[in-house]
Structure 1
C-alpha cells in the first residue's frame, strides 16, 4: 500500500538533515511521473529554511504517494517501492522530462548565467515552475530580482492569479490560498500562521504567463504548502487543519502543469 510508505519527520522545523541529494539520472525516467525538485545555490539564510532542501525529502515522498492514491497519474517507483522523486540541477538536460519543477526558500537563491539560460529555455518550451515557502518582503524582493533575470519583467510580468483561475479547480474546487506555517512555527506560536509577523500577514499568490496565457510559474509566498505534505504524519491536529487543502492544491497544480 502507498500509505505504508509515508515519511514522518521529527519534531524539528523543516531543516534538511539527510544525506546527499538524490540527483536524477536517465534511468529514473520511464514516462511515469517523477517529483522534480530544483537544486540551487543560496547566498543567504532564512529562518526556518534550508535553501533547495527545505522540506526535503519528506514533502517529495509524501506528495508522490498521495498523488498516486488520489489520481490516475502513474508515479515512478524505485525498486524498493518508494517513489522515485529526484533532485535536478537547473542545467541538467533531464529537466525537460519534468512537467513540474518545485523549489522552496527561493528568497535565498542566486542563479548563475548557465542556470538562467537553462531555466528560461525550460519554461518557454512548456515547463512549469512552482515556488513555495518563502516569507516576508526581503525574500519576495530577492526572488523577484532573480526571476527577472530569467524572464524579463517587461515581457513576462508577475501578476495576481485569481482564485477563479482553472488551476484552482483542475480536479478539486479550492476556493482560497491558505496561509500554512511550518509545523515548528505552529508549535512555537500556539497555532499562529504568519512566520514573519506583520511582514508576512498576507499570502501572495502570483504567477508569470507566456504569450498565450499559459501559467509558466506559480508563486505561493507567505505560506508553506509543502509542509502540509512533509508533516502530515507528525500531528493529527496539524494534518486536519492544513493537509487536505494542501494536497488538493498540489494535485491541482500538477494536473494543470501536465495538461497545459
Structure 2
C-alpha cells in the first residue's frame, strides 16, 4: 500500500510539472562535488530566458536523488568530479522519474565517467549509453551545431561526446563527456574562457534545455 501511494504521488507530481519550466540540481552520494560550478546554472538560466523564450525560475532548487521532490521538475542537472553513488532506493526513484517524463542532463566536470557508468547500470540495468550522432535534433534547436557537441575544456584532449539513454525513442538522459559545458557557463573570470567559447557552451546548453522542454 505504501509503495502504491508513493507511485501515485510521483505520477501526480509528474503530471503537474509537464508544463513547467523549472530546473533543479541533483544532489548525489559518494563524495563527489555535486555542488561544483556554482555560477554555471544561473548564467545558463539567464541566457535561456533572454534568448529562447523560457521562463525558468532563477532561484533553482537542489534535490536529492531519493526524494519525491524530483518529480516537481521536468529537468534535472547533475555535475561534479569523481565518485558518484546511488542507493537502490535512489536508483529506483530516478528510474521512475525518467520513465514518467523527466529529463536528466549529466555534465562530466572531469573524472565522473567510470563511477557514473556503474551507477547508471543500477538505474537502467537493461539499457546502455548510446552515442548521439551530430544529426540528432538536440544539436539543431535554436542554435546549429553541425559537428555535434562543442569542445569547451581540453582535459585529456579527447573529442567531446554526447551519450544518451532512450525510452521508446525519447531521450530521457543526456551525458556530456570530455566537453565540460558547465565550465563554459560559469562567470568569465572563473576559467578565463574566450567569449566565443563561453557563447558556444551557453548556446549548446540552451539547445539542451529547449529540446528537453519540447520532448
TM-score category by the smaller chain?
Answer: 0.7 to 0.9
Higher strand share: 2
Instruction: Please say if 1:255 is aligned against 2:210.
Output: yes
Instruction: Please say if 1:147 is aligned against 2:147.
Output: no
Runs of 4+ in 1 over 4 A off after TM superposition: none
Q: TM-score, normalised by structure 1?
A: 0.70
Q: Distance in 1 between matches of 2:30 and 2:20?
A: 31
* Aligned residues of 2:35 and 2:79 also touching (Cα < 8 A): yes
**Match for residue 75 of structure 1 among 33, 56, 71:** 56
Partner of 1:12: none
Give the total of aligned pairs.
198
**Match for residue 94 of structure 1 among 62, 69, 74:** 69
Q: Distance in 1 between matches of 2:204 and 2:142?
A: 9
Cα distance, 1:99 vs structure 2: 1.6
Cα distance, 1:135 vs structure 2: 3.2
Q: Which runs of 5+ in 2 are unaligned?
A: 1-12
Secondary structure, aligned partner of 2:118: helix
**Match for residue 61 of structure 1 among 7, 24, 42:** 42
Cα distance, 1:107 vs structure 2: 4.2
Secondary structure, aligned partner of 2:55: coil
What whole-Å deviation, never above 9, does each CA across 1:130-189 have from its counterpart, x for those lacking one? 1112436xx32221111010011xx322111011101111221112312222xxxxxxxx
**Match for residue 170 of structure 1 among 141, 144, 153:** 141
Aligned alpha-carbon RMSD (Å)? 2.2
Cα distance, 1:227 vs structure 2: 1.3
Aligned in 2, Cα 1:141/1:72: closer, same or farther, shift over 3 Å? same
Cα distance, 1:237 vs structure 2: 6.5
* Aligned residues of 2:164 and 2:175 also touching (Cα < 8 A): yes
Q: Distance in 2 between matches of 1:236 and 1:41?
A: 26
* Aligned residues of 1:104 and 1:132 also touching (Cα < 8 A): yes
Cα distance, 1:37 vs structure 2: 0.5
* Aligned residues of 1:91 and 1:118 also touching (Cα < 8 A): yes
Partner of 2:165: 208
Partner of 2:196: 241
